[in-house]
Homo-oligomer: A and B are copies of this chain.
Amino acid sequence: MLSPMAVCCYTHPIKPSTAIPRSASLSPPRLLRRSFLVKCSSRPNEPEPIFTSVRSFAPATVANLGPGFDFLGCAVDGIGDHVTLRVDPNVRPGEISIADITGSNTSKLSRNPLWNCAGIAAIEVMRMLGIRRVGLSLTLEKGLPLGSGLGSSAASAAAAAVAVNEIFGGRLSEQELVLAGLKSEEKVSGYHADNVAPAIMGGFILIRSYEPLELLRLRFPEETELFFVLVSPEFEAPTKKMRAALPGEIGMPHHVWNCSQAGALVAGVLTGDLRALGKALASDKIVEPRRAPLIPGMEAVKRVAMEAGAFGCTISGAGPTAVAVTNSESKGEAIGERMVEAFMAEGNLAATALVRRLDRAGARLVSSIP
């Protein structure tokens, strides 16, 4: 039988020897150089670039998925970040420079590759490949808003990791690229792979363990349509409060409940049973009930999404985006309208709705110049 699930297991080959301080914030210290010398690994055959320039894309991701908190995520198509990467003789060999960052509200993002999600992941891939003789410059096109709960930082990291790998011939595996992406995520939001793994691999990914990194691809049936309704309010989710809202301890009945819903969620994904998937998505008794009240209108948004026929609805990542699931684009649009109205009526927040399919491919090259 062709197994619908791949088990991937990968132990980091080289203990990271990065100079990137682990506990540092993302604000760049002054006077730091904008290009960064990659400390080389002992990989013996340094690859040559096979392109002079590549352009890559990585999709938005929805992490947590209700009872999938901290271990399950999926990719959504048509929105995400692009990276253009060039072999640049003006950059010192073995270094990478961020040439430009485009997109709205990108002023918060550093151009120092040490303090930029794309930069950190690119540096890590260069280190893994042992790049010493080629300098690179990177342009990041942000298609995702920051702090929306759609895996913005993970998309930047994923696009950069794939771009660097591909310009040198694609020697690294998806799992290695996830590890590179994790170096970046660690700096922004903690050592969690539930955004960056699906951003790189596409589809639904279950994070089974970190030591070693073990990822399960949960194959959603090819023939089944799945649409995500993503409704993002104009609201900055209070990240610290969102984290602080998590309970330290969980009672056994809620633990058993959420575990069973997590199992039902996985079953819904693997069998393409959207009703089961949606119901599980909406059934979290541990995290969502604590976080939803911190996002004005969220409880009403969920209620109207269900009333409008969504199979399920929950918070995307740590919010503030709400995500609902349905089986057709037109239904998705109708559900999205209701959700936008509810954010305004109950939360006094303007919001925008997008209806997107599951992205099954993950981060990929979109063009290249030999």
- Which residues of B sit under 8 angstroms from A1, Cβ to Cβ? 221, 223-224, 272
| A327 CB-CB contact with B under 8 Å | no
Evaluate contact between B224 and A273: CB separation under 8 angstroms.
Answer: no
Q: How far, in whole Å, are A223 and B7 apart by their CA atoms in the complex?
A: 20
| A251 CB-CB contact with B under 8 Å | yes
- Which residues of B sit under 8 angstroms from A223, Cβ to Cβ? 1
Evaluate contact between B5 and A259: CB separation under 8 angstroms.
Answer: no
| A262 CB-CB contact with B under 8 Å | yes
Residue-by-residue, is A252-284 near B (CB-CB < 8 Å gives 1, otherwise 0)? 100110111111111100111101100000000
| A235 CB-CB contact with B under 8 Å | no
| A67 CB-CB contact with B under 8 Å | yes
Contact of A250 among B255, B261, B266, B271 (CB under 8 A): B255
Report the minimal beta-carbon distance from A287 to chain B, rounded to whole angstroms. 9
Evaluate contact between B69 and A5: CB separation under 8 angstroms.
Answer: no
Contact of A251 among B248, B263, B266, B267 (CB under 8 A): B248
23 A-B pairs in the complex with CB atoms less than 8 angstroms apart: A1-B223, A4-B271, A7-B276, A67-B259, A69-B259, A71-B260, A206-B264, A208-B260, A208-B261, A208-B264, A209-B260, A216-B264, A216-B276, A248-B251, A248-B252, A249-B251, A250-B250, A250-B252, A250-B255, A255-B258, A258-B259, A259-B259, A262-B262
| A207 CB-CB contact with B under 8 Å | yes
- Which residues of B sit under 8 angstroms from A60, Cβ to Cβ? none
Q: How far, in whole Å, are A276 and B5 apart by their CA atoms in the complex?
A: 10
Q: How far, in whole Å, are A250 and B250 apart by their CA atoms in the complex?
A: 5
Using CB atoms, name the residue of chain B closest to A268.
B5
Q: How far, in whole Å, are A258 and B71 apart by their CA atoms in the complex?
A: 10
Evaluate contact between A68 and B263: CB separation under 8 angstroms.
Answer: yes
| A131 CB-CB contact with B under 8 Å | no
Other 15 A-B pairs with CB < 8 A, given A3-B271, A68-B263, A248-B252? A1-B223, A5-B276, A67-B259, A70-B256, A70-B260, A206-B264, A208-B260, A208-B264, A209-B260, A216-B276, A218-B267, A250-B255, A259-B259, A260-B262, A266-B266
